[in-house]
Amino acid sequence: MFTITIILNNKIDWIDILANQNGLRAAAQIAEISGLWPRLVKPLFAAASRVSSLRNHVLTVEVASPVIGYELSVVSSQIKEKINYSFRANYIREIRFISGSFPKNKHSPCLSLSRTEKKDVVPGINHLLKGDLEGSFQRLVNAARLRAKRDLQNGAVLCRLCGCPTSVSLNEICSGCRFDGSLSSQTAEKENSV
């Protein structure tokens, strides 16, 4: 067995080698970039993203949604320049944004409503639920009834299972009932009774 001995001129070289071997340098750089991140992007984006990893000069950032990822990718060249300027080197060559859920960073600012804003929101929602939605739902039901009546006048057959008009008379079962797995047992029962 051979032993390789490295003679180091000073302690800094030795610390440098150990840091690279143990991955401490990358961890320190990620920590430094994570600390800079809220100052590099707007507070809304900082709250919905976090620095994930740094490998081969590629910075990976997790984002809460694809929309946030797209918005950050538009300004990624500016973010990259700011990071490289703070490191005083051309260290980051590419930034990749990965969407997905991640635990919220407790140090990131989050948007919240004040008490007066919350009081304004509740009556608005109640108004929508009471008036506008009832009328919209009634118009939708009336339109469906008119469509069904017109289809029956044009020669459609009623589905044996759900009663909706169907233009295809394959055993007089509509396509919705044919492909719906939850109605397969009802189909078998009704076909056996016929």
For 53, the 3-state DSSP assignment is strand
What is the spatial distance between Cα 109 and Cα 49, in angstroms, rounded to a whole number? 11
How much is the pLDDT for 157?
77
- pLDDT category at 130 given cuts 50, 70, 90 is low
| CATH 3.30.300.180 segments of the chain | 11-99
pLDDT, average across residues 41-69: 87
CB 79 within 8 A of CB 40: yes
CATH T-level fold of 11-99: GMP Synthetase; Chain A, domain 3 (3.30.300)
For the whole prediction, is pTM greater than 0.75? no
What is the spatial distance between Cα 30 and Cα 118, in angstroms, rounded to a whole number? 38
Q: Which single residue is written with the structure tokens 């047992």? A: 185
CB 30 within 8 A of CB 40: no
What is the spatial distance between Cα 14 and Cα 119, in angstroms, rounded to a whole number? 62
Residue pLDDT, tens place only, 69-127: 999 999 999 999 988 888 777 878 999 999 876 655 555 555 566 777 777 666 666 66
